[in-house]
């Protein structure tokens, strides 16, 4: 019975990435291709290790070799997603990051062509060790978060992100030791931790939809303040503030759900560092807090001006990417759910 439950839990690790990919595909916001590729990569790796652990990889030897380049894709794909969350550009110029995966694909094709039935089927330990270089990408994302002191609620959110990263390190370490030692026990640890990692990701996104974005922006702003003097000395601050207000009030730029600090800075005519300092110094808000407040203010007006419009449609119309992000931001700023706000405000309006 225990073995059956363990196998079911491990198989869940194969199904969850595919379910997440399907959920993102069906969501109102089109998913980023690298995120779908990351989910698919995790599913292939998980299925391969499950067959290795069960002693059934001999039924599908090609999958073991196919898995090799996928091992090298996890780090770059995860890094791309973190880069996207921070509002950094994603361009074709980043292709060298995928060169190790291309080389691994060439090796996999050669190794599969040279493999003879009856030979041992397992990844060489040194190859798994090389694929572990993907952890350097995650280190680049999480190291600044770990070393900086953040105030209040951001400190708690930072540790949530770091706990997620530690689970990821446990996954990589178990996979490496399993390959080096030929131990099914480490394979079982790896297979067990993958569903934990994916479910933790789901819960983090559900409870704190903008967690990674907020923490990343806080870290970036803290680093910026630490290593530079004011960047606004040569800027017409009043003109920049006026331009920012026009972009929001007249052009409703906040409605763009992909609006990032660099994109808004470019529209204002500033660098991202300059806009960040402007928001903090003149408005006392980070970019994420400013944008959230703008969207909630617009949502409040729409909820009353369009009483028949579904609440979720209102949230998506003002730039929120999901219902969870909209409800969390609205409740944080107003202290009420959107529907409750609409009912209470509507009751105080003159009838006519």
Mean pLDDT confidence for 333-343:
89
296 has a pLDDT exceeding 90: yes
- DSSP symbols for 147-205: HS---HHHHHHHHHHHHHHHHHHHHHHHHHHHHHHT-HHHHHHHHHHHHHHHHHHHHHH
**205 and 261 share one domain:** no
pLDDT interval class at 60 (50, 70, 90): confident
> Is 219 inside any structural domain?
no
Phi, psi at residue 154, to the nearest 5°?
Answer: -65, -30
Between residues 8 and 112, which one has the greater pLDDT?
Answer: 112
Would you give the DSSP letter of residue 233? Answer: T
Residue in the structure block whose two tokens are 């994302």: 141
- The CA distance from 220 to 88, in Å, is 12
Q: pTM for the full model?
A: 0.59
The pLDDT of residue 113 is 85
**201 and 56 share one domain:** yes
Between residues 315 and 185, which one has the greater pLDDT?
Answer: 315
The pLDDT of residue 41 is 86
> Is 223 inside any structural domain?
no
**Mean pLDDT of the residues in the chain:** 75
The pLDDT of residue 227 is 41
Mean pLDDT confidence for 232-261:
87
- Number of structural domains (the chain) is 2
- The CA distance from 127 to 59, in Å, is 22
Domain CATH code at residue 296: 1.10.10.60
The pLDDT of residue 169 is 59
Mean pLDDT confidence for 79-85:
72
The pLDDT of residue 318 is 93
**204 and 237 share one domain:** no
Q: Whose CA is closest to 262, among 97, 91, 84?
A: 84
**pLDDT over 90, % of the chain:** 9
Q: Whose CA is closest to 190, among 7, 50, 17, 28?
A: 50
The pLDDT of residue 179 is 57
Mean pLDDT confidence for 22-28:
74
230 has a pLDDT exceeding 70: no
Between residues 83 and 320, which one has the greater pLDDT?
Answer: 320
**314 and 165 share one domain:** no
- pLDDT digits over 159-207, tens only? 555 555 665 555 566 555 655 565 556 556 666 666 766 776 666 665 5
Q: Which long-range contacts (CB under 8 A, 24 or more apart) does 280-287 make?
A: 280/221, 281/232, 282/237, 282/241, 286/214, 286/217, 286/218, 286/221, 287/217, 287/261
**174 and 255 share one domain:** no
Mean pLDDT confidence for 340-351:
78
Buried b (16+ CB within 10 A) or exposed e, 34-58: bbbbbbbbbbbbbbbbbbbbeeebe
343 has a pLDDT exceeding 50: yes
Mean pLDDT confidence for 97-122:
84
| Residue 135: strand, helix, or coil | helix
**263 and 338 share one domain:** yes
Residue 290 structural domain: 233-348
280 has a pLDDT exceeding 70: yes
In 10 A of CB 326, how many CB atoms?
23
**259 and 164 share one domain:** no
The pLDDT of residue 301 is 92
**90 and 127 share one domain:** yes
């Amino acid at each position: 019975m225990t073995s059956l439950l363990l196998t079911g839990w491990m198989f869940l690790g194969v199904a969850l990435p595919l379910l997440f990919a399907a959920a993102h595909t069906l969501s109102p916001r089109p998913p980023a291709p690298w995120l779908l590729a990351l989910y698919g990569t995790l599913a292939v790796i998980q299925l391969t290790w499950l067959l290795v652990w069960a002693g059934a990889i001999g039924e599908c030897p090609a999958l073991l070799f196919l898995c090799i380049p996928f091992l090298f894709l996890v780090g770059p794909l995860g890094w791309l997603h973190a880069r996207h969350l921070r509002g950094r550009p994603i361009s074709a110029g980043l292709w060298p990051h995928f060169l190790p995966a291309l080389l691994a694909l060439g090796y996999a094709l050669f190794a599969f062509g040279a493999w003879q039935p009856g030979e041992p089927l397992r990844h060489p330990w040194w190859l798994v060790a090389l694929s572990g270089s993907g952890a350097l990408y995650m280190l680049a994302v999480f190291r600044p978060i770990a070393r900086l002191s953040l105030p209040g609620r951001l400190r708690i959110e930072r540790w949530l992100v770091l706990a997620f990263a530690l689970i990821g390190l446990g996954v990589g370490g178990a996979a490496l030791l399993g390959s080096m030692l030929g131990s099914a026990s480490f394979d079982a640890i790896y297979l067990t931790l993958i569903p934990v990692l994916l479910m933790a990701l789901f819960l983090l996104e559900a409870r704190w939809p903008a967690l990674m974005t907020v923490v990343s922006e806080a870290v970036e702003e803290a680093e910026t303040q630490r290593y530079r003097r004011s960047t606004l000395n040569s800027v017409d601050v009043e003109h920049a503030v006026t331009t920012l207000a026009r972009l929001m009030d007249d052009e409703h730029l906040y409605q763009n759900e992909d609006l990032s600090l660099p994109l808004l800075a470019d529209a204002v005519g500033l660098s991202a560092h300059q806009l960040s300092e402007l928001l903090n110094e003149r408005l006392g808000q980070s970019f994420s807090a400013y944008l959230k407040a703008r969207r909630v203010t617009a949502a409040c007006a729409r909820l009353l001006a369009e009483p028949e419009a579904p609440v979720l449609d209102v949230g998506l119309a003002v730039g929120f990417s999901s219902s969870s992000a909209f409800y969390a931001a609205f409740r944080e700023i107003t202290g009420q759910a959107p529907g409750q706000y609409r009912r209470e405000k509507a009751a105080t309006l003159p009838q006519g």
